[in-house]
Amino acid sequence: MGYLTLFFIALGLAMDAFAVSVSNGICYKNAGLKEAFYTALTFGVFQALMPLIGYYAGRTVSDAVEFIDHWIALILLSFIGGTMIIGAVKEMKNPSKESCKTYCTSKDLLVQGVATSIDAFAVGISLAVIDTNIFVAVSLIGVVTFICCVIGVPLGKRFGFFLKDKAEILGGSILIIIGIKIFIEHTLAL
């Protein structure tokens, strides 16, 4: 898998973390550069760790699924992307009425980090079945997520609700397109 494709996977995965970062910037009154850094670090680590775990889980079964790996990648990436888009559209139609806090606790960040990286586990499984250099992939995923999130908190503080759901729609669309690309490439190679 090429670096450009890996970059777009990283960007797609980073969008839900970016959306939560924007939300934190909107909601937490005291969100400054320090909070942006901690948010970005937490999300970047979780987004890099989960595909690594998924990759090694997927490697244990990759030989058995070699002939259907492109189907697995298509289904997983499309499901993850579709779920992101549906969730964003639902949130746009019925915005949550959660009250904002003054600050984001470490527990809040950990829960958000896990919640935004669960889809990265499934992407890790996809990366295993298409035999990708996982260390390049997780490094790129972690760095891209960090950059998106360190930008997301101040953007949220400044621009409000405009960006949040649109970022998740973009991220979901990117993952679906990459799933289709992998499927077409592997189907044509057979």
Residue 98 clears pLDDT 60, i.e. is over it: no
Task: Tell me which of 141-145, 152-156, 159-163, 175-179 is least confident.
Answer: 159-163
- Binned at pLDDT 50, 70 and 90, residue 177 comes out as confident
CB atoms within 10 A of CB 93: 8
Q: How far is CA 48 from the centre of its chain?
A: 10
Q: What are phi and psi of 28, to 5 degrees?
A: -85, 115
